[in-house]
Amino acid sequence: MRLKNQVALITGAAFGFKKGGPSIGSAIALKFASEGAKVVVVDINEEMGQKVADTIKKKGRKSIFVKADVSNSDEVKNAVKAAKKEYGKLTCLVNCAASYEGNFFHTVVDTPEKDWQKIIDVNLNGYYRFAKYAIPLILKSGGGTIVNISSMAAFNVVPNFAAYPVTKAAINGLTRVLALDHSPKIRSNAICPGFVKIANSEGNRSPKELKKWCDNIAKDSPLKRVCTVEEIANIALFLASDDSSYVNGECIMADGGRFIADRFDF
């Protein structure tokens, strides 16, 4: 029970949109609940978000669902208020909500402004908004932790994919700023996953196509497999618990060593 007496608000915590399978956010929500935390599930997808909260409650733990668009400040404020109203405090914020929609597979020149703005407003500004409105409550609650879900893309960019890695690099910068400005009451860290098998992938691909995708990714990984959402949830648990009591301002790569392999493959 490493998170006993903790209250965690997790954005992007709904099950996968297509088939209702696990996502990174839902895996973190379930893991935190199993370790004793009261969980505020936040997502724009009401049906799948409510299912996560219901799943937690069926296991005898406490959880509520709050529908919120992270690009809407009023809805962000409402989610934080809901945590305070239901549980009286907030001790952990996990920013996980992300957008992959729009024409993001382009250079900066070719990316439409509306699509650039959308991904910035969700992936970066959404993290800013929740930090802005959750931190005062975390401080009033005696302190706590922030865990931001970033990406390997913050370090290892590829051609014709401009907007997404820009937001993830900015999230790493935001994480360090939060760690500096709000210590010692709040520790802030980021997780930078590599390729993760998630429900969204399952929904967009047939089982055969998904296996082929995973096999292709695995070939280039020193660990010869794709990461699971549960493995990312375990890192989040470490960062939110006292097990990481002297870890602050870090951006932890969780890519199975792929970044190192790409850099030194000669």
Cβ burial of 20 (10 Å; 0-12, 13-18, 19+) is middle
Give the separation between CA 153 and CA 102, rounded to whole angstroms. Answer: 18
- Yes or no: say if 212 and 4 are a contact pair by the CB < 8 Å rule: no
Give the separation between CA 72 and CA 130, rounded to whole angstroms. Answer: 10
- Set 87, 127, 164, 246: catalytic member: 164
Q: Pick from 62, 45, 54: which is nearest to 11 by CA? A: 45
Q: Pick from 138, 261, 124: which is nearest to 190 by CA? A: 124
CA torsion sign for 154, 260, 193, 138 is negative
Q: 164 catalytic, yes or no?
A: yes
Give the separation between CA 150 and CA 9, rounded to whole angstroms. Answer: 17
Catalytic residue numbers, as ranges: 164
